[in-house]
Amino acid sequence: MLKSIVKISFIMILAAPLALGQQPVRSADANKAGQSVYDTVCATCHAKPAETKAPPIETLKKMGPRSISYALTNGKMKAQASPLSAKDIDNVVSYLSATADVDNSWIASHACAADHMKVDSGTPTIGQWGFDSHNNRHLTAKQAGLTTANMGKLQLAWVMAFPQTANMRAQPVVVGNTMYLSIVDSGQLFALDVGGAAPCVKWVYQHDVPLRTALGYHTLPNGRHVLLFADAAMHVMMMDAVTTEVLWSANVKVTSVSNVTAMPVLFENKVFVPISSGELNMGAVPDYECCSSHGAVVALNATTGERLWVYHTMEDAKKTTVSKVGTQQYGPSGAPIWTAAAIDEKRHLIYVGTGENTSAPATDTSDAILAIHMEDGKLAWKYQTTPNDIFLTGCMNQPDGPNCPPPSSVNKDWDFGAGIMLAKKPDGTELVLGGQKNGVVWALNPDNGKLVWNTKVGGGGAMGGIHWGMAYDGQRVFAANNMSTGPTSDEVSPGLYALDINTGNIAWKYLHKPDCTGTRQQEIKSCNSNYGMSAATLLVDGAVVQGATDGFLKVFDSKSGEPIFTFDTARSFPTINGVKGHGGAIDNATVVAANGMLFVQSGYGLMGVPGNLLLAFKPAP
């Protein structure tokens, strides 16, 4: 439960490092005790990240005590940590963190001058997850201040690093020269001035639990400019973008282990919040009573935060059987919603995609694209692509666990993790597009959910297929494939694919190859195997921008597929703010363009390549 929502004024930050959630450096004995707990309880999964999807210890040690402590006491690791005492948890946090909490001493010397302290307001360049309400993720040259030709001659302008974080995972907002950037592990929200030769800090908001989602920016009917986001404790917040006053905070839990991953979306005085779940990780614990959570969409009143309606992806779970170790089991469960909603203004629908079931019986709403009425939350239509997909993350490592899926399950984890898109074709008709973790792009009729075409670009898997988001330029759909098992005999491989919007035919493809040249083998130990393309795709004018899990930033000509720019971010850089910085995987939706610059966040520990960088690129003269 959220204890408080605290604005740390800039003056307080200048006076001293943040005290909120600060943890002292522990003794060597405490660290040894913490290591013992880690080796006994945690290493079972975290020592096998490729098999379990758990971040490796190198990532955990960079996340900071705030994030680790919350995960064990209230977050996604709560079930695994349930046998531990408070002292055990304290010791393992100490072992993994081994330092004081976030050091903010760098902020004082990088405060904006008085004439740059005021945040910009007005129409944002980057204001929502898909840049438009249809999730097309396409910026014109005018919007970005960059042309296709510019994108081929980018050069690094500056690098900023953030302490005690492993995951640069939240898409920022850019309004004028102001960038709002969330550092989720530390619970900090920065307002930066990015209009000059070097960035400076306008203000910092400090939250008391880790933050979670991308940021949205909206202007209310009364002219007030607001930010919209959610934290790890399931609170959706509307904040004044100028003063940081929290106008309202709403708890959107629908079950005890609900989660919010997708950015909340505002339309016509309603805020639509997709609900995911942490039970995918918890369910494999042998004595856990699996599973009772399910996905949902919660609609809130944008003025007050009051809950208006809830769409549930299934009925509430009921008791089913008793496991072989004697714990009660429940079902149905699952079908979490990881995706930011696409808005269909004409049909007054929202579109979302769902994930797998987590316990039997399987439902017809898992691994599906859903159309939901905005007015009342009733289902308009659904299209299920993979029936009977019951899956738990921990069962990848222990498939005979008492809660693991029955043999009848396809057991694939083929979610729709990428934001569903509403795309207008050249003839004016529209398609609903979804990218799935089985490596398939689906095109549906928005009026009835009927299949129009589908195209496979990857072999799929728990860490494969299409992850965060596609992009669309009016003629071609661009889908990145994170297939983690390497190329197949038919050359379906990690890479980027351009599909014709009318037929789904592949217009061109780029196959990404592992690169362990130079010092990269030392920088990224997994460079031979971890080289997929998981991040959401970005279009700038006629250039396609794609990040890779091996840290490479790639830019392509959208018509020909010719690579026009490449940059390796997975290394150490001198930083503008003096904080030690190292790049890693580029993932989630962390690449944006505005004001003639390309901004890239590098580091995603969940992909095994942590980092803490914000890099800014501009065209060479």
**Cα–Cα distance measured from residue 275 to residue 264, given in angstroms and rounded to the nearest whole number:** 10
Q: What is the pLDDT of residue 74?
A: 73
Token reading at 483: 């297939």
Mark the ranges of the chain whose per-residue pLDDT is less than 70.
Answer: 1-30, 44, 48-53, 59, 61-64, 66, 75-76, 97-102, 483-492
Query: Using one digit for the tens of pLDDT, what is the confidence trace for 488-512?
Result: 444 557 899 999 999 999 999 999 9
Helices (H) and strands (E) in the chain, counts: 13, 40
Q: What is the pLDDT of residue 281?
A: 82
Q: Which one, of 299, 227, 226, 230, lies nearest residue 268 by Cα?
A: 299
**Cα–Cα distance measured from residue 512 to residue 532, given in angstroms and rounded to the nearest whole number:** 7
Specify the CATH superfamily of domain 10-22+101-113+136-173+181-406+427-619: Quinoprotein alcohol dehydrogenase-like superfamily (2.140.10.10)
**Cα–Cα distance measured from residue 328 to residue 290, given in angstroms and rounded to the nearest whole number:** 7
Q: What is the pLDDT of residue 522?
A: 87
Residue 79 identity (one-letter amino acid): A
DSSP category for residue 285: S
Query: Using one digit for the tens of pLDDT, what is the confidence trace for 114-129?
Result: 999 999 999 999 999 9
Q: Is the pTM of this model over 0.85?
A: yes
**Cα–Cα distance measured from residue 110 to residue 200, given in angstroms and rounded to the nearest whole number:** 5
Q: Which one, of 257, 256, 237, 232, lies nearest residue 247 by Cα?
A: 237
